[in-house]
Each structure stands twice: as C-alpha cells, then as structure tokens.
Chains A and B, each alone.
Chain A
Amino acid sequence: MEFLQPATWAEALEAKAASRDAVPVAGGTDVMVAVNFGRLRPSLLLDLTRVPELQQWDTEDGVVRLGAGVPYARVITELGDRLPGLAMAARTIGSPQIRNRGTVGGNLATASPAGDAHPALLAADAEVEVASVRGTRRIPVTGFYTGVKRSALADDELIAAIRIRPPSGPQQYSKIGTRNAMVIAVAAFGLALHPDRRAVGTGIGSAAPTPRRAPEAEEFLAGELDGLWDSRGELPASTATRFGELVSAAAAPIDDVRGTARYRVHALSVMARRTLTWAWADYRKEATTCA
C-alpha cells in the first residue's frame, strides 16, 4: 500500500488525476474500518489532512463554504449558530473520538444512506463543490447521491467544500438508533424552515437506497404555512400529522438487522411530526424575542 501526503490542493488534484484508484483519506473513520474488515485494500492512500484549504471554513456572499476536511467537532463548536441543522446532525454522530476525526466530506464521499450529514444537507439545499485538474463544479446535494454508496463524484475528482446558506428559520435533526449514543441511524430526518423563501426543506436518512427529500411533504407544508409565516400563528396538530405521513410516504425502506421497513416508516412520521412541532415553536418564539 502506497501512501501519499500532498501539502497543497493542487498537488492533491494532480495525484488523484494521476492515480484514479487512489483512495482519499480524511478522518479515516470509514476508510480504516473498511481496511480493517478486509473490504478495502487500496493500492494508494491519498492523505488529505495536510491540505490547508480543506481544514477551513469561511463565508462568501453570505454562504458558508465548509472545507471538506473540517471535523464534526468543529462544525459543532464553530458553526452551531450558522449551520444549526448540520451541527445537530453532527452531535448525533459516533463518539467524541469519531467527531474529532470524521468529516462532512468523508460522509458525502461514502454516500451511505445512513450517513447523518445527508438529511441536514438536503434540508438546507446545500451544494457540493468538487474539483479536479479539469476544473471546479458545484453539484446540488439533491443530485449528489446516485445509488447505494454511490455519488456523482468522478474518479478524478475530490470534494473541496460544502456550500450552505445560513438559515432564515429554524432547523431540526432527529435520528433513531437502538441505543442512546454511538449508533448508526435506523432512520433519520432533517428539517429546515425557510421563511425568507416561504419554503420547507426535508431530508430522509436510512430509509431509501439513497438519502432523499420528501417533495410532497415540503409542498404540502409550504402550502399550509402560507398564511402562517407572517402571523406566526399556532400550527394545527393535523398539519403536523399530515406532514409526518407525507414524509414517511416518501421513504422506501427495507428490513435489515437494524430495523424493519415498517418501523422505519412509522418512525419517520413521528420524527417529522415532532421536529416540525419543535421548529414551529422556535419560529414563534423568535417572534417573541424579536418583538
């Protein structure tokens, strides 16, 4: 196994172009597990942890550009206010050790249906900035997941950053696991309310071959909220329930060792209903604090 440690982004892209089967490694919390289980025997490991650009985040035109190599621990401590949904998702990931190493870029490239960043990124309409020696392109995250553990990333490309517009409204993230920490999602749900656009964002995890949104649920809720954004009035319980049903209807789960398809569907409807209730309560509270 060869090991390359580029010091600059340009070198990293060169190396990936030169050896397309090179396996990038950021936190290593997916890569090294696969190596350990004998599922992966890369001929070349491309260590990205020395590339300074990947370890940084900044704000461009009001959009947060999160370097692909920023670990979850920093997302939580440094970006909890700007990217609340992603930070909430990050808090549910692994253990402190994993959050110190694991990155959003790694989660995206693995593209597991159970990856916890995905529902939050979907709900927030994030964009994935990818690059190669050929140039840079931005992929809306909705188009990023192409199959079970497959993504739109070409074999000479690396993920540079994730671009997320800070929210104009509350965000929530909720995840089911069969223990209370350090657990892979049985089902997960991300919600973002976008009062500026009068829109709703959703993300479903672990309940379909890829992470996905629940477009009908989004449209339904946006419609129901139409008159409520300004009044910040109470949300009818029936709206939250219907929203939950529509979210779960968007899922296409399977039975596996972690849970049954029926449970996943049920759990999604509950999570969607509850997170909406919390988010709306926050939205109403904001009004009170502003006033």
Chain B
Amino acid sequence: MSAPTRTPSGAPAHLTGPGSGRVGDDAARPDGVLKVRGEFAYGSDLWMDDMLWGVTLRSPHPYARIRSVDVGPALAVPGVHAVLTSDDVPGSKTYGLELADQPVLAVDVVRYQGEPVALVAADHPETARRAAARIVVDYEVWEPVTDAREALGHPTWNQVHETEAPVTELSRESAHLHPQGNLVRHLKVRKGDPHATADVVVTGEYEVGMQDQAFLGPESGLAVPAEDGGVELHVATQWLHVDQRQVCAALGLPPERVRLTLAGVGGAFGGREDLSMHVHACLLALRTGKPVKMSYNREESFFGHVHRHPATMRYEHGATRDGDLVYVRAQIHLDGGAYASSTPAVVGNAGTMGIGPYVVPNVHVDCYGAYTNNPPCGAMRGFGSVQTAFAYEAQMDALAAELGMDPVELRCRNAMEQGSPTPTGQVVDSPAPVAELLRRLAAMPLPEPPGTLDLREVPGGVSNTTHGEGVRRGVGYAVAYKNVAFSEGFDDHSTARVRLEVVGGEPTVTVHTAAAEVGQGLVTVEQQIARTELGVDRVVIHPKDTDVGSAGSTSASRQTYVTGGAVKAACEAVRARVLERAAGLTGRPVGDLRLFDGTVVAEGLELPLAEVLGDDAVEETLEWRHRPTQALDPETGQGFAHVQYAFSAHRAVVDVDTELGLLKVVEMACTQDVGKAINPQAVVGQIQGGTAQGLGLAVMEEVLVRDGRVQNPSFTDYLIPTVLDVPPMRIEVLEYADPHAPYGLRGVGEAPNISSGPAVLAAIRQATGLPLTRVPVRPEHITGT
C-alpha cells in the first residue's frame, strides 16, 4: 500500500512513552505527558497550509420533503471552491453500520432535524459557513412522528395493555418513515411458561431520557486527495475499517484507494461509531483536489452523532413468598430516531440482558426498536443495558418492599453464578460473583452523617439552598451485567502486527494495530502485553491506520480482550521464531529457552537479543478471534449469543433536599469483577468514569427533544456532572479469571456505567419514598411541582 503522499501536522506520531510496566502493573500511558501538557494533537488540531474548510448545511426540520435545492448563491461567494449535494455522491447514496439506510446527503426527504443536506468547501471556515447559509432549500414541511410506540402502532405510553401488541400493521398510513415500515427490530425472548403465575407480583412502567456521549473533542478530520485518485482520511473515530468500508461505498472507490489514519480522539463512548464528517470531507477533497478539514463546533456536534436510545419499559415480576423469582415479563420500546445506526444490536442487548443478572425460570421479553423523526440513536457506553437496568433494578426494589425483604438479600437470593442458565439458554461458563459483589458493598462502612455545614457537601452546593433543612439521606444498591465484545454470531476479530528488532543497540518492539485509542488506554495495554510476552521494555505503538487489518470496534468493552488477544498471539508467534533462532545458534532445545529483559535465557545461558537478531527484524501479523457466538432464534431468542459477561455493582448514598428536589450524591461505592486487571489504575479510571456517566444520566443528563427538535444542543443546558456532583468513590476490584479469555481478563468499561445510575435512583427513592419512574430525575419529580 502506498504511503500517504503528505502528512498533515497534528497527525499522530509513533508513541513510545515511559517504557516500563507489564501485565498487572500500573503502567503509565505513553500519551499521558503529551495530554497533560496540552501537546497531544486531537482531530481538531489537524492542519495543512493549503487546506480548505468544509461545512455542512443541515435540515432545520425534523421531517420534510425537499422540493429543490439552489446552490447558486453559495457558489457565487468568493473563496468558495465547491458546493455539493446528494447528486454529487458518486457511489452508494446511503450508508449505515448495520443497515445502509442513512443518506450521505439528504435525498428528497429529511427525516430528522440536523440531517446533512449540502456541503461547502471554502478557504476560510467563516466563508464556508456564510456560503452554506445562502443555499436555498425549499422544504415541504411534514408532521414528524415523535413517539416510538405510536410509530409502531402500539398503544402509547400509559395505555396499559394486557395482550401483546400486533406489529404487523406498522404505524399510521402517512408515517412510514422507511419503505419497510417503522420497525427496526423486534427481539423476542421466550423461556419457560409464558403464562406463569406467582404469589407476589409487582409491575412498573419506566422511562429513560436521551443521553448524549458528551465527548469533549467534537467530530473532526482532514481528507487529503492522493495522487492515485484516492484519498487519505485522518479522522477521530472508533473503528477505522468499518468507516473505510462505508466511505469506499459512498465514494465508489476500492479500499486500497481510501486510507484512514486515526487522529487524536477526545472521547467517544459510542458516539463515533457512525460516520459523521468522513464521507463529506472526502467528497469535498476529491472534488476540489485540495485537503479539506471539517471540525464541528459544540452545537453541531449534538446534531452530528447518535445519542443513547430513549426507552419506555413495562415490567412485571412474579416471585414466591420466599423471594424466589418465578417470572419476568417485559416490553421495551427503544426510540431509534430517523435511521437504524446500531439499533438492531442495541435491541439485541436490551432484550437479552433486560432482566439483569438474575436467575429466572420463566422469561417473556419483547424488545422493539422503532424509527421516528427524533435524532438518530445508536451506540453509547452500556448499549441497551443502561436503560433496562433502571427498570429491572427498580423492580427488584419494589419486589423487596412488597416481600418485606432486604433489597440486597433479594438480589443475592436470585443472583446468577457460574453455571446459571441465562434467559437466552446459555450457561454462564465463567465466574459470575454477583452475590459477592453485593455483599462486599453492603459490608463497606457507610459515610459519616453530615457534620458542620460545608456548602460544597450539601444538596444545591455553593448555591446556598439548604443548611440542612429538608435533607434526607438514602442508600441504594444496583447490580449490572453486560455482554463483552460483539454478540449474536458476529465474526468479531482483531489483527495485530508485531515486530521485534534491535534499534540503536536496543531491542525494540513495534506494535501495529488499527484499534482506536479513544482515551481508554489501549495503547498502554498494548505496550504492557508486548513487554510481558517478549521481555522487552521498549515498545513503540505505530499510528493506528488501515495499513494493517481490522481491529474491530473500540466499543462493547472489547479491545483489551480482542485486540489484547491479537497482540498477545502475535507476540507469541514472534517469540516462537526468535527462540527457534536462538535454539539454532546455541544448540539448546527451544523448550528450555525464555525471553527475559532483552536476552534469551536458559539454565547457564544469557544471550542478548542483539546477537540473536543482528540486523534482522522478526515480524508477525495475526488475526485473532474470540470463541464464536451464534445468532438468536428469531422466535424464542435462544442461542449462544454472548461470549462473555462483565459484572459490577454499586451502592449509592444520596442526600436529597426533599423540599427543593436538589441532590448531593455523597458517596458511590463500586465492586466489579474484571477477571484480570491488566492495568489496575486504568481499571479504576474506567470505573470512576463509568460511575460518573451513569450518575449523570440518573440526575441531569438529557437531550430534550420536543416535536422532533432538540431544545438544548450545548453544554449551557445539556448538563454533565461537575466536581461538586461526582462524589468520592470506594472501589473494590475483583479478579476471578475467565478461563476463555486472554490472561483471564474481562471487559471493564461499560458495566460500571450501567449499575451506577440505578443505584442513585434507588437511594433517592429511599430518601423520598417516591416511585420516581423516569430518569433523569428532575427537581419537579421530587417536589411534585
């Protein structure tokens, strides 16, 4: 493959970093110093002197027909180099992660507010913006479909229905947003007796609002036209190869002419799984023959990526008087918005994981993903499990109250363990210490009651709303499980290229994968694994690009498992070759030789790698897969769908000003089983971050959408927790090895994001005695005003 003709400044260089730390150590990040000093280049820092700036004209309407587009006035603006519409897309006009249903640029119809309609490239971003504003689009505005149940023709919210809703007659006649109707996926899980009865029954209806990933580095990238008629795209993303596939299709170019390199990523959380400016910048670069940079501002970013699916959920739990779960029946509706994105997989997770890590003999779940004219929803950390956890954990607390049982006891009594059957007919085939996670939490000391007044420690904080009046404390527990890696028969693999050579007298390993580093620390893990397997301290991380095979997505808590597994396997292959050479040189059997500290060692032997390798490099490229999974049976939802589960539990202590509805989360405690902590400090970081993000959804984070229009597309009114909202955390990390996974590890990143919010809700319920069935909880819900 040809090397990029020109490299922009701000493109990532090789990372070396501090140079020590093996598997199990708190190794420092190779990019840590750069980031702390503000020297790390993010996608928005990409620069070429002769580049143009691309901007996107977006639809102001959630649903409308485009009668005509007149780009003439924009083209007439001096400094404008190109204005493009869907007519200028040479290849496939639509793209998508699972279904190619989303237009690169709107074709005839816009289905959500913010849908891209046209593109402008100009020599200055301001010029490009002004020109875009002069494009004349004539819209015939239609009434948007904004309720997922309505879109499916299901009884709408609060119309409790006893029989299963028909899904054959999809939606109202006028509101088929897509030719196949408005159903993206209906997942059925059927286990045991669908009509099981029980002594004690609790039902509840729950609603979860739309959360945003709120990553700090908005969508950015730079497309550079190449001499071969192709394009080099530098972009901040989560999966280079799935981007490449979609960009190629839209451009009508083969993969060897569309080369992607990962630019610095400022957070992702699922929001970069779908394309944003990728195809747009390439189209403009190919049209103008110049490098084109696109970088969204904060407001555009809210329209430029998918959000977490809002959910409405109806649950019924039946149990014996003793507290054994007999059945769970659930209907879950996820609002997928205008395009499919990863809705089918989110439905898969929400449906299969939707009753939580409990053993239940009779399960009847219907999970629907619908098209509406709301913003498209797709991947976000926790992926379907976050929404359902709010419902099933509220149900467990309600059941405990009904039974007069302690909520932790009820959970432990029904907790999954190794060997338990899952609702989908799998058997949990590695440790599942759900009860232990909960018992450890319950055994932790509780925080002290409030002492002398410090405004930073009370609900409302320094805004001075209470000096203790109206404040009641609640404690709540929740537990989560989450499938790790891609499920349902997906060929989930990663590729690693590992080279060992002696550079300037020093043994050096270069690790080359396409696995996106999004801030989680995979580059550190790659170094730790290479050091461990090859006994060499100096490990260089090659920039992430499509010159090496796919690593799969940086999502689903999977990269340490899958790309970690690939790096480990490639290192083992390199090691085998090196030891064979050493065996040839020394005449010692290969089995006696080991790599240690830059030397080949055996009983009475210490041979420096420089002598074994000379000027040669030993390189191996390997594709690595986890155990295959299976598709689910479409009628029963049964099958070996998930390769691994991650488990975490939270205890939240929350002070509530019951009169004003304001909150102070006093402490979050978390226990999580990670199988093996490859980097314990990074594991704790993931747990802290996941906990904060879950807390955010519980008490403040929501993209407010009214009539298909986003009301708060900025950090002025989309609030994320500050340092006064995120409390101190007690974290206990357990390491029960999964025998099927490299080093026994388990994916870490998502589970704590799932159990945190429901624990906060449980604590607020305990403090207030209110049912609180909607998140985020607002002061109005607590005060009843």
Cβ-neighbour of A174 out of B464, B700, B714 (below 8 A): B464
* Chain B residues with CB under 8 A of A271: 465, 660
Among A33, A88, A175, A183, find the residue whose CB has the most chain B CB atoms closer than 10 A. Answer: A183
Q: Once bound together, how far apart are the Cα atoms of A217 and B722, in whole Å?
A: 35
A267 closest partner in B (C-beta): B660
Is A184 an interface position by the 8 A CB rule? yes
| Residue interface bits B748-785, CB-to-A below 8 A is 1, else 0 | 00000000000000000000000000000011100101
Q: Once bound together, how far apart are the Cα atoms of A144 and B562, in whole Å?
A: 64
User: B349-357, B455-463, B583-591: which one contacts chain A?
Assistant: B455-463
A88 closest partner in B (C-beta): B464
Cβ-neighbour of A91 out of B462, B470, B659 (below 8 A): B462
Cβ-neighbour of A257 out of B461, B659, B711 (below 8 A): B711
Is A280 an interface position by the 8 A CB rule? no
Q: Contacts A180-B724, A258-B717 known; A263 to B779 CB distance under 8 Å?
A: yes
Q: Are B460 and A266 in contact (CB under 8 A)?
A: no
* Chain B residues with CB under 8 A of A274: 465-467, 469
Q: Are B462 and A257 in contact (CB under 8 A)?
A: no
Q: Are A179 and B717 in contact (CB under 8 A)?
A: no
A36 closest partner in B (C-beta): B297
B780 closest partner in A (C-beta): A263
B467 closest partner in A (C-beta): A278
Q: Once bound together, how far apart are the Cα atoms of A175 and B721, in whole Å?
A: 18
Q: Would you give the shortest CB distance from B18 to chain A, in whole angstroms?
A: 31
Q: Once bound together, how far apart are the Cα atoms of A277 and B659, in whole Å?
A: 15
Q: Would you give the shortest CB distance from A84 to chain B, in whole angstroms?
A: 12
Cβ-neighbour of B662 out of A33, A176, A262, A277 (below 8 A): A176
Is A103 an interface position by the 8 A CB rule? no
Q: Are B780 and A260 in contact (CB under 8 A)?
A: yes
* Chain B residues with CB under 8 A of A262: 780, 785
* Chain A residues with CB under 8 A of B660: 176, 267, 270-271
Cβ-neighbour of A179 out of B466, B704, B716, B719 (below 8 A): B719
Is B725 an interface position by the 8 A CB rule? yes
Q: Once bound together, how far apart are the Cα atoms of A37 and B712, in whole Å?
A: 13
Q: Would you give the shortest CB distance from A275 to chain B, in whole angstroms?
A: 8
Q: Are B459 and A180 in contact (CB under 8 A)?
A: yes
B459 closest partner in A (C-beta): A180
Q: Would you give the shortest CB distance from A32 to chain B, in whole angstroms?
A: 13
| Residue interface bits B685-724, CB-to-A below 8 A is 1, else 0 | 0000000000000011000100000011010110101111
B residues 486-505 touching A (CB-CB < 8 Å): none
Among A36, A179, A182, A265, find the residue whose CB has the most chain B CB atoms closer than 10 A. Answer: A179
Q: Contacts A91-B462, A257-B704, A263-B779 known; A37 to B299 CB distance under 8 Å?
A: yes
Q: Once bound together, how far apart are the Cα atoms of A267 and B724, in whole Å?
A: 21
Q: Are A263 and B783 in contact (CB under 8 A)?
A: yes
Q: Once bound together, how far apart are the Cα atoms of A33 and B712, in whole Å?
A: 15
Is B664 an interface position by the 8 A CB rule? yes
B466 closest partner in A (C-beta): A274
Q: Contacts A91-B462, A173-B464 known; A179 to B780 CB distance under 8 Å?
A: no
Decide if the interface of chain A is mainly helix, strand, loop or mixed: mixed
Is A259 an interface position by the 8 A CB rule? yes
Q: Once bound together, how far apart are the Cα atoms of A92 and B297, in whole Å?
A: 27
Cβ-neighbour of B464 out of A95, A175, A182, A277 (below 8 A): A175
Is A100 an interface position by the 8 A CB rule? no
Is A210 an interface position by the 8 A CB rule? no
Q: Would you give the shortest CB distance from A117 to chain B, in whole angstroms?
A: 14
Q: Are B783 and A178 in contact (CB under 8 A)?
A: no
Is A28 an interface position by the 8 A CB rule? no
B297 closest partner in A (C-beta): A36
* Chain A residues with CB under 8 A of B779: 176, 178, 186, 259, 263, 267
Q: Once bound together, how far apart are the Cα atoms of A173 and B455, in whole Å?
A: 13
A91 closest partner in B (C-beta): B462
B659 closest partner in A (C-beta): A270
Cβ-neighbour of A178 out of B467, B716, B719 (below 8 A): B719
Q: Contacts A92-B464, A174-B464, A270-B660 known; A181 to B723 CB distance under 8 Å?
A: yes
Is A6 an interface position by the 8 A CB rule? no
* Chain A residues with CB under 8 A of B716: 33, 184
Q: Contacts A180-B722, A180-B724, A181-B722 known; A175 to B463 CB distance under 8 Å?
A: yes
B residues 281-307 touching A (CB-CB < 8 Å): 297, 299
Q: Are B664 and A180 in contact (CB under 8 A)?
A: yes
* Chain A residues with CB under 8 A of B723: 181
Q: Once bound together, how far apart are the Cα atoms of A266 and B785, in whole Å?
A: 7
A275 closest partner in B (C-beta): B464
Q: Once bound together, how far apart are the Cα atoms of A258 and B465, in whole Å?
A: 17
Is A169 an interface position by the 8 A CB rule? no
Cβ-neighbour of A181 out of B461, B470, B712 (below 8 A): B461
Q: Are B778 and A178 in contact (CB under 8 A)?
A: yes
Chain A interface residues toward B at CB < 8 A: 33, 36-38, 88, 91-92, 95, 172-184, 186, 257-260, 262-263, 265-267, 270-271, 274, 277-278
User: Apart from A173-B464, A178-B662, A179-B719, what are 20 other A-B pairs with CB-CB below 8 Å?
Assistant: A92-B464, A172-B464, A175-B464, A179-B461, A180-B460, A180-B724, A181-B723, A181-B724, A181-B725, A259-B778, A259-B780, A260-B780, A260-B785, A262-B785, A263-B661, A263-B783, A267-B783, A270-B660, A271-B465, A271-B660
Q: Which 4 A-B pairs rank lowest in CB-CB distance, beginning with the nearest?
A: A180-B461, A180-B724, A175-B463, A181-B724
Chain B interface residues toward A at CB < 8 A: 129, 297, 299, 456, 459-467, 469-470, 659-662, 664, 699-700, 704, 711-712, 714, 716-717, 719, 721-725, 778-780, 783, 785
A-B contact pairs, 22 of them (CB 8 A): A36-B297, A37-B714, A92-B463, A175-B463, A176-B662, A177-B460, A179-B719, A180-B460, A180-B461, A180-B722, A180-B725, A181-B461, A181-B725, A184-B716, A257-B712, A259-B779, A260-B785, A263-B785, A266-B783, A270-B470, A274-B466, A277-B469
